[in-house]
Every structure is written in C-alpha cells, then in structure tokens.
Amino acid sequence: MGSSVKTSESGVTLIEVLMASFFLTIALMAVAFSMGAGISAAYVSQEQLIAKQKAQEALEAVIMARNTQEIGFSQILNVADGGIFVAGFQPLKDMGVDGIPNTADDTGAVESITFPGKDGQLGTADDVTISLTGYQRQITISTITLPAPDTNVDPDVRRIDVDVQYVVRGVTKTVRVSSLISRFS
C-alpha cells in the first residue's frame, strides 16, 4: 500500500515581506518626522522666549522709571505726541543713560545675550554669546478713552504695548506684552 505523506511547507512569501517592509518604512518615517518637528519647535521656542523676555524687560523699565520718578507721566508718550519713545520698530540697542529702551539716548551697540556653554554654568569660558541683530522692538503708548457715555480721554491712564519682532526660517513673528500705566505709582 502506498502511503501518501502530506508535507506542509510554511514560509514567508515575497508579498508578505514587501508589505512588512512598507509598514516598517511608514512607521520609521513618522518617527523621524516627529523628531524633526520637535527639534524645530525647540528652536522656535528659544527665539520666542528671548523675544518675550525682551518685551517684558522693556515694559518693566518704563514702569520702573515712572515709579522712581526718573521720568514724568507726561514723558510716557511716543515722540510724535511729545514723549520720549521713538516710534516704529527699532533694533534692540543697549539702553542709554536713562535706562529706558527705545529712547533717543540708546547706544549704537546691538544687545546680545549670553547662554551657558556645555558645562551648563554661566560665567565660564565656554559660554556662548549671541547678538540680537535679528530682533526689533517697538513701544507704542496710547491713550485710554473713558467708558460711555463719557468719551473723553482718561488723563491719568495710558496703555503701553511692547512688540518684539524676530525672524525664524524666513518667517517674521511678533510677541506683544501690554500693560496700563497710571499717573500714580
């Protein structure tokens, strides 16, 4: 009697290998894309953080100058309105003698910022200093109108808007901080 033996061959076909390779490639591309997006976001975050810090610093300088009476409330206006603040976007220059940014006495030197180097400590030989030539700041002082039905300008309160522009990969971005300032400290 003849015996018939059934043999079962198991293996992976070429189509299964191609499909597995395709799905693996897609997964690896997704991981690579998300890593690239994360690195890009970290870079943009640093630029945005610097811009926000420089805007906040300018706002605090104006409020401090008013609080210490280095400048009077009547000077907290743009030059066109009889104040001391230069209109329009200006390079981030070192503050002059008055210690207030975006005024006529600002020096010609562009501000810079120093980051700790590889050792993670500021003030050591490996620190990295970056010039802020790609940043511009604008301080806009505006009056506040009293609520209806009175539509007169409030003589005791003004609005300060500090905008800092910077460019990341060819795209101009702007950060704004705002506050109200009163005649009274």
Q: What backbone torsions phi and psi does residue 181 show, to the nearest 5 degrees?
A: -130, 140
pLDDT tens readout for residues 100-146: 999 999 988 899 999 899 999 999 999 999 999 999 999 999 999 88
Average pLDDT over residues 2-15: 69
Distance (Å, rounded) from C-alpha 126 to C-alpha 62? 34
pTM, rounded to two decimals: 0.74
pLDDT tens readout for residues 72-96: 999 999 999 999 999 999 999 998 8
Q: Strands (DSSP E) along 44-184, which ranges?
A: 90-91, 112-115, 128-131, 135-145, 153-168, 171-182
Residue 8 banded pLDDT, cuts 50, 70, 90: low
